[in-house]
Structure 1
Amino acid sequence: MTLTLTVSDEVRTLVPGFTHLAIEAHGLVNGPSNAASSALLDDAAHRLAERLGGRAPHEDPHMAAWRAAYTAFGAKPSRTRNSAEALAKRALADGGLPRINALVDAYNAISVAHLVPVGGEDLDRIEGGMRLVRATGDEPFTTVAAGVATVEHPDAGEIVWCDDAGVTCRRWNWRQGPRTRLTEESVNAIFLLESLAPMTTGELQVAGVELAESLEKLSPGARITVRTPE
């Protein structure tokens, strides 16, 4: 059964240029970062440096649009960066990009190479459909602080992804919760690529197709469906 993804009218009104593309994958084989997934990250960092040509990530027009969107719902974009900008800064730093696991490496590489926020969720841990909404402030967000599981709550008006059990990602795509993240045991997943104008639908689809191809190489035989932007 296909996962339901909805974007609330409140979000569309506040940020009318938003669109997203979803890739649903079943029968994946995940594991520790390996030579193939590491090569994807190295290539992405090289492509990012060429794209920016010495500019800082936030000077890219797409990242500037995300900063404006974060400001619109009350976040401070220089302190809580969207996931693509945060990864891009790490890619350009001396330490480079982190190696997490093969699937996370694959979608992080697409995020950096195309400067587009990308997230991955374990389909078997999502309860009900996923919704992008403006939070009331009462929704639970289970996270880990100092090694201990704890429950936080988003700010009222904050844009969050959530399912029937609570928030899965705070401040749009800033911080994912551990409940639904991809682990080495994950076999079914949904990947979300999120864009704002001036990124075009065509550019978003190119990034999505590249991610699908990477997943097919990392997990031969997986059933992968690219769902067109909504």
Structure 2
Amino acid sequence: MHTIESFLAIDLFDSLQSQNIDGSGSGSLPLFLLNIQTHGLPTFSNQYLSVIESSSTDLEPSQLREVDGKKLGCFRIFSIDGGHTETITLSDLVLVQKVLCDGGVIIIDDWTNDEWFGVRSGIFRHFNLQQPQSNSQTSPLSPLAPFLAINNKLYLTTPSYHDLYFTTLQSSLLNGSITYLPLKTDLNGFPVMTRVEAIKPQWDLQKMWEGYLGGDGGEHWRWGE
């Protein structure tokens, strides 16, 4: 029998839109619940769905692990598509990382959207926090391992599961459409699978990251050949 898992939604929704400082979306709680009923959990919403109407920057990990008396524990998959500023993106990553199961997946939306550079900046700042500081051999955060960058989304997991996910995707994409070529590049020290049109150049993600840390900042292209 298929097990129905718990779901958690966090958003400003209708009543807190005054905190939507970058105007990225305008969440409607009634519309969200209608969509859940229509496409997701038609008869189990109250039992399996929890909703937190708040800014994610005001939340602690314990508030995600237990909501209204429901013990949710760690999360196997988490989609980040909230505020698109650098500060909010960084805050969301730090928060979610603390409640992610080993092998859990974080999906970050709009990471290549040129209208929302704050998302990229927040991701790179999070990567920077994973690096040992000059006066210490330890880093403030354990690493997150990106393994897929596709369709404007970046997928990350815990390092121990990176190779499993990456090799599985590599095998799948190599058997895909001839219109696209799977490419492998590096980001934050981990191989990342991406799929781009063969006739277009692809940013070398590791070079972008190195440039952010103070490299030459030049343009680095990787061709789909």
The TM-score normalised by the length of structure 1 is 0.25
Bigger RCO of structures 1 and 2 (CA < 8 A, at least 6 apart): 1
Give the TM-score normalised by the residue count of structure 2. Answer: 0.25
